[in-house]
Amino acid sequence: MVEAVETMDGWYSLHDLRTIDWTKWKEAPVHIQEKAIKEFQTLLSSWESVEKNNEGSHCMYHMVGQKADLMFMILRPTMNELAAVETALNKSVLAEFLVPTYSHLSVVELAKYRPQKDGVDPETLPETQERLKPILPKCDHISFYPMSRKRDGDDNWYTLEKDERGKLLYEHSLTGRKYAGKIKQIITGSIGFDKWEWGVTLFTDDVLQLKKIVYEMRFDTATSRYGEFGEFFIGNYLAKEDVEQLLNV
C-alpha cells in the first residue's frame, strides 16, 4: 500500500473573485455609491486590524481580463472566521454591485516529506509556523491557479511510492529556488474542500517573472507528467486608498 504524506496545516484560505456590474453601478444614485465605498473601506480597515494583530491576513487585486474584476485572498485561523469575513462582504452595500465568478477554498499547507532532524518536529519550528500563518505580500502583481495531480493510467501520482514523490517534488523545488527574491509562493491544500486539490498563489513586483517560473516548471517531471491545471487569474495590486478611484464613474 502506498504511504500517504502527513501535512502541516495553517490558516484557512479563501480566494474570492467577483465581477463589478458596471451598468448597475453607474445607474446607482451618487449617495449610494458614496455609502458603498465608505462602508467597504471601513471593512478593509477592519481586515487591516486583524492582520496587524497577526490573527489573519488578506490582499486585494484588480484583475486583468474578463474572468473577474476583483480578487480577495483571505486567511483566517478557523473556517468559521473565514465564513464570517465572506458573509460580512456579502452583506455590504458594494456587494449588491458585485457578481461572484469563482472561489477556491483551501488551507495553507506544507508536506512532511523530509524526516525529522535531530528528533525535532518541523511543525514546531518558528520558521515553519511563519510559513503556515503568513502575512500575505502586497506585491504589484498576483497569479493564482488551482491544480491537481493526475490519476490517469501509468501517470498516477497516487500510486507512486513516497520516496519517488519526494524526489520529484525536491527537483521541482530547485526550479522554484531560482526565483527566490523575485517571487513569493504560497501553496494551499484543498483536497476535500474544493474540486481542485491545491491552489498556487504567486506574488511578484515583476509580472514577467510569473510567466518565466510557470514556463520553466512545465519541464519538471512533477508537472510535465503528473500536473493538471485550472485557469490562471492575474491581477494588479489594489490598495484601499485606490478603491474610490477605481469605482469613480
Catalytic residues: 145
Cβ atoms of 149 and 197 closer than 8 Å: yes
Picking from 146, 142, 148, the residue whose alpha carbon sits closest to that of residue 238 is 142
Cβ atoms of 137 and 59 closer than 8 Å: yes
CA distances from 21 to 53, 68, 95, 100, 247 (A): 34, 11, 10, 10, 11
